[in-house]
Amino acid sequence: MLEFTERFNVRYSKFLACKRGFDQTGEYMFLSQIRKRRSIRKYTEQPVEPEKMEQIVEALLRAPTSRGLNPWEFVAVTKKSLLEELSKLKPHGASFLKDAALAIVICADPSIAETWIEDNTIAAIMGQLTAESLGLGSCWIQVRGRDYSSKQTAEAYVADLLDIPTNLKIESIIAIGYGDEEKPFKETADLQYEKVKLNSYRSLYKP
């Protein structure tokens, strides 16, 4: 009976810690995810489960926006043939998309909010951090301002491929899947604290 009670107490303490936002080491889980997150460009063939995709989509739709105008729209892509074609959207920096299990195309209607770029960026990182928390790897692929060829922009290429209306601008694509590579996370001592100031630009912040 004593052994059972001890096991229960350990499990219950872990449950309470998680409920309060801490992981089992006592760190905030959110900060723990940020520390571990790296850009992952190699993926296994394992598909992303529907329930995990639903959670990523929910995170995108919960992203804060300026004045709550929500100018963003998203296109989720799981079809392998489309992922293959999307991987060709620019000469460099997108080829790994063909091996991803999921792509989220981040779009927005600029007529709704002039802050559409900022709003899209916030949504994208929320999606990436949610993917990290679910054991998935992800990587940002820039689309806006990039070219598919000398005659067509990357935006136009993606829009044609996915039948995206002309009133929407395409900011980026997030590639998501089960990672097939491991990258060490940055040590706190290696962070660029010299770029943080306190009360005045001439006064360094010291952690």
| pLDDT, tens digit (0-9, with 9 covering 90-100), for 95-132 | 999 999 999 999 999 999 999 999 999 999 999 999 99
The four Cα atoms 88, 91, 93, 94 give a dihedral, to 10 degrees, of 0
9 found inside a domain: no
197 found inside a domain: no
151 found inside a domain: yes
Residue 33: predicted pLDDT: 85
Residue 179: predicted pLDDT: 98
204 found inside a domain: no
The four Cα atoms 53, 21, 30, 64 give a dihedral, to 10 degrees, of 70
The number of folded domains in the chain is: 1
Which two tokens mark 186?
Answer: 């940055």
